[in-house]
Amino acid sequence: MRISALLLLAFSSVSVAKTASIASPNGNITISLSDELSTPSYSINFKNKTVIDNSALGFAFKQQAPFSEGFKITNTQQQSVNSQWQQPWGERTTVTDHHNEIAVTFSKADPHGGTYTVRVRAFNNGVGFRYEVPAQAGFENIAITKELTEFAIAGADNATAWWIPARGWNRYEYVYNTTPLQDAALVHTPFTFKNQDGVHLSIHEAALVDYAGMVLNQRRPGVFQADLTPWSDGIAVKKHGAFNTPWRTIQIAEKAVDLINSDIILNLNEPNKLGDVSWVKPGKYVGIWWGMHINTHTWGSGEKHGATTEHTKYYMDFAAEYGFDGVLVEGWNTGWDGDWFFNGDVFSFTQAYDDFDIDALAKYGKQHGVQLIGHHETSGNVTNYRNQMADAFALYEKSNVSQVKTGYVADGGNIKRIDQQGIARHEWHDSQFMVNEYLYNVTLAAKHKISINTHEPIKDTGLRRTYPNWITREGARGQEFNAWGTPPNPPEHIAMLAFTRMLAGPMDFTPGIFDLSFNGLGAETNRPQTTLAKQLALYVVLYSPIQMAADLPKNYLAKPDAFQFIQDVPTDWQQSIALDGEVGDFIVFARKERKRDKYTGNDWYLGAVTDEHARTIEVKLDFLEPGKQFEAHIYQDGKHAEWKNKPYDLNIEKRLVTANDKLTLKLATSGGTAIRFKAI
C-alpha cells in the first residue's frame, strides 16, 4: 500500500509537462524552458517571433546516464535585477545590469537519476543561461563527453552568417567568411548572423572558467550543437562535485550596432576578485616588434638582434618624448635561436641574451618615466613555462615591469604539456586544460601586480571583470598578418572584427602602421590593405585599454601631423557608442575619454572605417554634450585617396562644432576617419 502511493506520486510528478518562461525587462525577448519534448529544451522569441526554435539542453557523461530523457521540471525560482557597477577601466565607466532571471530545476523521477538547474537571464538585448549541477550521490567524479545544448536557428534558410572555422591549426586567426548560415559547419564564437527577418544575433559564452571552450557544430541545417573542445584523452570536461558551466549567450538586436552596444558578456561574469587594482594601468606602448615581422630585425641573437640594450634605450627615449607608457621588448631572453616555433622547450624566462641588460634598462626606464613591457613566448610548451613562471614574474616585478605579453604560438591541438608520468600530451588552446592554464598565468601575475596581454589566447569571455589584470589579448588576425600573412587582412577585416571578435572583449590588434609599402612591392603583396587615415581610426574602432603604436619610430617621425592623433588618443573611456554600421561593411564609433585614475575628461573621439568600398557617412554629433563647443581635429582620407595606390592622401583640418552639427564623412576604399573633439 505504501509503495504504491509513492509510485503514484512519482508518476504524477513526471506526467505533468511544464513550460517555464521569463521575459526581458522591456518585454521584447522571451525564453521558455520546457519538459514537454522527450528531452528538456528551450526556445526564444523576439518581438513575438521565434528566433531560436526548440533546442535541446543537457549533458552526456562517460559513466553516468545522460541528463536528457526523463528529466522533468521540479522547481522554478524567479528574480529581477536592476543595478549598476563600475569598471576600473573599460569602454564605459558605469555598466547597467538590468535583467529578469528564472532558475529552472530539472530532475529525474528516479532519485538517483540526477538533478540540475538551468539559470536563465533575460536582458533587453539578449539572454544568457548556464547549467548548475549540485553535488549529488553518484556524480562525485564527472567526465562530460558531450554538452547536449543546441541552438536551433528559426528561419535559417535565408540567414547570412559571418564566421571563422573552429578546430583549425591557426586557432582564431582566420579571415572571416560571409556565407549563407547553412554553410557554417564548425565555427568559433562569437558567431554572428542575421536571420531572414533582418534580426542580428550572436552566440557566444561568458565566464569560461574550468571548462572546455564551446564551438558550434551545425549538425542539421540550422541546428547548431555546442561542441566542447576535448582534452587529449577525448573527455570534454572533468569535474569533481558541484559545478556551474559558463553562460551560453545569445545576443539579439534589430540593428547590427546594437550587438556592440551591449554589456551582456560582462554582466554575466563575477565581480572583481582582485581587490584594489589601481596598479592595472591602461595606456599606450611602442616596442621592438614590427621590425621582426618585416625582417629588419631578429628575435634571435646575432647582427640583427632587435632586443639590445642600446636599441631598447632608443625606444625608451622615443616613448618618453611622445608620451608612451611602455616599451615592449621581444627576443630578450635565450631560446630564440634556431626554429623557435618548434623548439619552445628551450626558452628561458629569466636568462637574458648578453647584449640585453635588464637591470640597466629597468633603471633607465625609471629615470625617463617609461616602463619595460615584458614578453613570454612559450611556443606552446606550457610545462616549460609553468616550471619557470614564478621566477619569471619575480624577475619582472623587480625590474619595474607591470605588463607582460604572453604568447602560445603552436598549431591548434598542439599545445605541449608533460603529464605527471612525464609523457608529452598535446592539447587544444581552447580545451579545459588550457582554459585553466591561461587563468593560472593571469592570477599568478596578479600577485606580482602584473597585467597580462595574451597572444594565441583562449577567446575572451569577459573575465576581465573578475580579473581586471587580464588587460587585453589577441585571438583573431592582428596587424602581423599584414607583414607576412597569406593573404594579408582584407579591406573588410576591421568592419568584420567589430561585429564578431570584438563582441568578446578587447583586442591587442597593434594598429598604426604608417609605412604602408615597407617591402617596396605593389598593393597586392603584404602590406596593410588600408589608407593611412584608416590606421588612425583603428585606435577608436578596435577597443583595447592598451594600444600599441606598432610601426618603427622613424616612420612616425616622417609623418608628424598624422602621428599627432596617436599621441592624443586615449585608451580608456567613460562611454562608447557604436553609432552606425553593417557587419563587414563599415562601422562608426564615438567614445568619450576617461583620464587616467579618474572618471573625468571632456574630449570625445570618433573612428569610422569602411571595407573595400568608398562610402559617404552622415554622422549627427548629438552624442556631444549640448551647449558646449568642441574643436574637431579631423583626419580623413583626401580627395584622391584609395587604399591601393594613394593610401597616404590624408586631409587634416580643424573646425568648431556643437551637438547640433552633422558631419559628412567621406571614406576612401578601405579608408577611415579619425576625429578628436577637443572640449573648449
Catalytic residues: 480
Mask for 352-381, x = binds ligand NOJ (CB under 6 A): -------------------------x----
Binding residue for ligand NOJ, selected from 53, 430, 474, 593, defined by CB under 6 A: 474
Set of cell numbers at residue 102: 528564472
If you search the block for the grid coordinates 617596396, which residue do you land on? 520
Q: What are phi and psi of 524, to 5 degrees?
A: -80, 0
Set of cell numbers at residue 468: 581586471
Minimal distance in Å, beta carbon 390 to ligand NOJ? 21
d(Cα 52, Cα 230) in Å, to the nearest integer? Answer: 26
335 versus 491: smaller Cβ distance to ligand NOJ: 335
Minimal distance in Å, beta carbon 407 to ligand NOJ? 4
Maximum Cα–Cα distance for the chain, whole Å? 94
Asked if 171 touches ligand NOJ (CB under 6 A), the answer is no
The radius of gyration of the chain from alpha carbons, rounded to an integer in Å, stands at 26
Minimal distance in Å, beta carbon 456 to ligand NOJ? 6
* Sequence-distant (≥ 6) Cβ neighbours of residue 554 within 8 angstroms: none
d(Cα 645, Cα 517) in Å, to the nearest integer? Answer: 10
Q: Are 121 and 268 contacting, i.e. CB atoms less than 8 angstroms apart?
A: yes
* Sequence-distant (≥ 6) Cβ neighbours of residue 672 within 8 angstroms: 530, 531, 533, 534, 535, 536, 537, 538, 541, 607, 608, 609, 610, 636, 637
289 versus 470: smaller Cβ distance to ligand NOJ: 289
The DSSP call for residue 527 is S
Q: Are strands 403-407 and 371-377 parallel, antiparallel or unpaired?
A: parallel
Set of cell numbers at residue 610: 569602411
Mask for 281-300, x = binds ligand NOJ (CB under 6 A): --------x-----------
Mask for 327-346, x = binds ligand NOJ (CB under 6 A): ---x----------------
Minimal distance in Å, beta carbon 307 to ligand NOJ? 12
72 versus 455: smaller Cβ distance to ligand NOJ: 455
Minimal distance in Å, beta carbon 438 to ligand NOJ? 15
Asked if 572 touches ligand NOJ (CB under 6 A), the answer is no
Binding residue for ligand NOJ, selected from 72, 99, 130, 455, defined by CB under 6 A: 455
Asked if 611 touches ligand NOJ (CB under 6 A), the answer is no
Binding residue for ligand NOJ, selected from 10, 109, 346, 409, defined by CB under 6 A: 409
Q: Are 636 and 651 contacting, i.e. CB atoms less than 8 angstroms apart?
A: yes
Minimal distance in Å, beta carbon 340 to ligand NOJ? 8
Asked if 248 touches ligand NOJ (CB under 6 A), the answer is no
Binding residue for ligand NOJ, selected from 246, 407, 528, 545, defined by CB under 6 A: 407
At 555 the three-state DSSP class reads: helix
507 versus 566: smaller Cβ distance to ligand NOJ: 507
Q: Are 119 and 100 contacting, i.e. CB atoms less than 8 angstroms apart?
A: no
Paired with 286 in beta bridges are: 327
417 versus 473: smaller Cβ distance to ligand NOJ: 473
213 versus 344: smaller Cβ distance to ligand NOJ: 344
Helix (H) / strand (E) element for 250: namely strand 247-253
Asked if 551 touches ligand NOJ (CB under 6 A), the answer is no
Handedness of CA 361, 363, 367, 373 (dihedral sign): positive
* Sequence-distant (≥ 6) Cβ neighbours of residue 249 within 8 angstroms: 126, 127, 128, 202, 203, 204, 205, 206, 264, 265, 268
Residue type, 496: M
Asked if 128 touches ligand NOJ (CB under 6 A), the answer is no
Asked if 416 touches ligand NOJ (CB under 6 A), the answer is no
Minimal distance in Å, beta carbon 480 to ligand NOJ? 5
Asked if 480 touches ligand NOJ (CB under 6 A), the answer is yes
123 versus 353: smaller Cβ distance to ligand NOJ: 353
d(Cα 599, Cα 43) in Å, to the nearest integer? Answer: 41
Paired with 33 in beta bridges are: 20, 42
Size of the site for ligand NOJ (CB under 6 A): 8
Asked if 591 touches ligand NOJ (CB under 6 A), the answer is no
146 versus 171: smaller Cβ distance to ligand NOJ: 171
CA 255 to the chain's CA centroid: 21
Q: Whose CA is closest to 373, among 564, 565, 546?
A: 546
d(Cα 440, Cα 323) in Å, to the nearest integer? Answer: 33
311 versus 455: smaller Cβ distance to ligand NOJ: 455
Minimal distance in Å, beta carbon 472 to ligand NOJ? 12
Please report, as residue ranges, which positions from 43 to 72 form the binding site for ligand NOJ (by CB under 6 A).
none
Minimal distance in Å, beta carbon 508 to ligand NOJ? 8
Residues that bind ligand NOJ (CB under 6 A): 289, 330, 377, 407, 409, 455, 474, 480
